[in-house]
Structure 1
Amino acid sequence: MTASGRSFLAYCRPGFEGECAQELAAADAELASGGFARSQRNSGHVEFVLPDAQAATRFARSVSWRDLVFARQLLRVIAKVEGLPREDRLASLLPPIQSSARRYKDAWIESPDSDAARELAGLCRSLNNALIARMKREQMIDPTSAFRLHICLTDAQTAFVAEAEIAESSPWPGGIPRLRFPSAAPSRSTLKLEEALLTLLDADERERWLKPGMTGVDLGAAPGGWTWQLARRSISVTAVDNGPMDQGLLDSGLVTHLRADGFRYQPQNPVDWMVCDMVEQPIKVAARMAEWLANGWCRHTIFNLKLPMKKRFDEVVLCRRLVEERVDAVGKRMQWRARQLYHDREEITVFARIR
């Protein structure tokens, strides 16, 4: 067992470990702590190590999972346990949990979203049941606790024992909301917007900002996967695309199909929502989104940025800076949240609004 208390574990999309590490390092650079990342390509996780426990505490107070783009979850590591015996893995996992001297509201045993780690799903489930039962017997479960225990199996013999403050962490195991594809939706891209609304907005914001009778525009809408998410909430949508739209959406009475270029269209009146999943260079999409926000054409927007093969983290920083500068230039302030969603691939999804 390797004691820690000075490192953090971030889950990410396999293949994006480098971007996740860059983002954590950039956050740490503002604190001048001198932390460093450990990662392996396609592992689906990154460990970020601080020089001492005091620096780790500063990092925990300053870096929020909610503000990270490439991390699906951020956990504080208690210990790394290696050489787990096949006969009784729980016996090796319990000592670091007991040493934390904390009681937990719940405990999750999970694995990263990598090809190799996904094969551990059955082991995670069986171990989780045994762990919860043992923790209850030893009075280590407290329904009023603000913390949740996480055990991440990276392989059958290795685990990170970690914890998270529930209010400041992802509410889904592995940081992944498991969504079911709605059969009435015209394309699987609908899951991107559903996940974005679920993860980038909280429950109160969804209730206030997604009301029946609101208006929206979907740029590059065809065949209508994102339009469907707005229409199902009784929002009237102008679907802008030269391609064909799903007939069921057109028959709903909530969707107007306008055959036009999403990079040229502008609404006659401001709308509540503009959504956009156009395939184009990210900087070009960012400039178009900045135009909508700066001109007040929409109150809220969710859009995707398709990332290049190289310097993807740098491209995200560049796009955000461009939008912020253009909004600032007209005397407005912007709220920006971004995440690489589970249903994203080589892209990130952004929510923005003028405050």
Structure 2
Amino acid sequence: MDGLLCYCRAGFEPELAGELSDRAAEAGFAGYARTERDSGHVVYACEDADGLSRALPWASLIFARQKLRLLADLRGLDPRDRIAPMLGALQGRARFGTLVMEHPDSDAAKPLAGLARSLGNALRPALRKAGLLSAQDDARLPRLHVCFVSGDHALLAASDPADSAPWPLGIPRLRMHADAPSRSALKLEEALLVLLDEGERRRLLRDGMRAADLGAAPGGWTWVLTRHGLRVQSIDNGPLRQHVLDTGLVEHLRADGFSWQPAQALDWMVCDMVEQPRRVAERMATWLREGWCRHAIFNLKLPMKKRWQETRLCLDLFAAQAGEPLAIRAKQLYHDREEITVFATR
């Protein structure tokens, strides 16, 4: 089968399938999505998978944690020898630089972690002997992914290091810091890691920059910004954790995040308020249109139904109302739940 293999949050397969289907059709590629609810992955079958992959960069996909080029769909694998069919399916392929053994991030697939790990130890030398894997990990070459869907079913896929997530399963492993005021801090940490590249993080997050955090309490996102040296106006009628205020970088203003506006232009605005996504999109657009900030990261809480359609509507609404050309990137992050995270810069 030719096509793409994409990983997603379990339960969001219909949203990812809808996104891939719509985006492929708009780019002029015929194909179809195949998935099961709560499987944590979607296969998009397409005759010109290489062309489709180029048309749909990983960074542009919202519900895909990872984007891979599907190479083989191996079913009915014999537990006594899973390696021979894999070598056979890869015969004639160019050499890979790294082997990644994984499974979808779903309840059904998590018990396969041990199998993937142990088989990887045997598969690596077999691949090297066959000339299919470099003697040492080589980050310049495509990565080979072996994704176990079940004990006798594996998907073989490849990733371009320049057009895919660098983390297994597309999930950056972040640890909850002891001083973080709330788990929501992980959402902003992941957003800065996934939605900005290394150069942008150095350039756009510098000591002394000024930011606003709308709906800040108890201070998780404010805390992350202060760790980058930003001075933050934290807008919320609720209280902030005292150690966040003790940084000396935070001014807590008890006000409504939907009506407050800064006295002068800021570098950043971040927002994780629980509100209807269209209302949030419109307010965020106002901030960019009026020049109140240069860069923004905000969350859009999605409804229970038609989430892909609502996502498109809200992002189109935001872009239209912002009133000037913006770079806009959006992802459903690992630490997101029923929401997506958006980065926008003027």
Which one of 255, 268, 274 corresponds to residue 279 of structure 1? 274
Deviation (angstroms), 1:138: 2.8
The whole-number CA distance in structure 2 between the counterparts of 1:304 and 1:64 is 22
**CA displacement at 1:145 relative to structure 2:** 4.5
- Residue 174 in 1 paired to residue 166 in 2? no
Q: Deviations over 1:141-187 (max 9, x none)?
A: 23375311111101111011111111111100001011100010110
From 228, 237, 245, give the equivalent of 1:242: 237
In structure 1, C-alpha distance between the alignment counterparts of 2:297 and 2:27, rounded to whole Å: 30
CA contact (8 A) 1:104 1:145 kept: no
2:36 corresponds to 1:33: no
Structure 1 runs not aligned, ≥5 long:
none
SS in 2 for 1:314: helix
Distance in 1 (CA, whole Å) between partners of 2:123 and 2:305 is: 42
Question: 2:27 and 2:203 mapped to 1: Cα distance?
Answer: 36
Counterpart residue number, 2:321:
326
Using the aligned pairs only, state the percent identity: 53
**Residue 335 of structure 1 aligns with which residue?**
327
Structure 2 residue 12 is matched with structure 1 residue 19: no
- Whether the 8 Å CA contact 2:98–2:144 is kept in 1: the answer is yes
TM-score of the two chains, using structure 1 as the length reference: 0.95
2:109 partner SS: helix
Instruction: Select which of 132, 138, 150 maps to 2:130.
Output: 138
Q: TM-score scaled to structure 2, two decimals?
A: 0.97
Q: How does 1:85-164 map to 2 (within 5 A)?
A: 85-99=78-92, 101-142=93-134, 143=138, 145-164=140-159
Structure 2 residue runs without a partner (length 5+): none
Alignment of 1:266 with 2:258, yes or no, is: no
Q: Deviations over 1:272-300 (max 9, x none)?
A: 11100000000000011000000010111
Matched, 1:353 2:345: yes
1:186 aligns with 2:178: no
Match in the other structure for 1:309: 304
Tell me, yes or no, if the aligned pair for 1:19 and 1:312 is still in contact at 8 Å: yes
Aligned length: 343
1:43 maps to 2:39: yes
Q: Could you report, residue by residue, the CA deviation over 1:185-209 in whole angstroms, capped at 9, with x for unpaired residues?
A: 1100000000000000000000000
Question: Which residue number in structure 2 is paired with residue 200 of structure 1?
Answer: 195
Amino acid at match of 2:175: R
Determine whether 1:60 maps to 2:56: no
In the other structure, the counterpart of 2:225 is 230
3-state SS of 1:153 partner: strand
For each residue in 1:225-280, what CA deviation from the matched residue of structure 2 results, as whole angstroms up to 9, or x when unmatched?
11111011111101100001000011110111100000010000111111000000
Superposed structure 1 runs of 4+ greater than 3 Å apart: none
- Secondary structure of residue in 2 paired with 1:166: coil
SS in 2 for 1:304: strand
The corresponding residue for 1:84 is 77
C-alpha distance in structure 1 between counterparts of 2:207 and 2:89, whole Å: 50
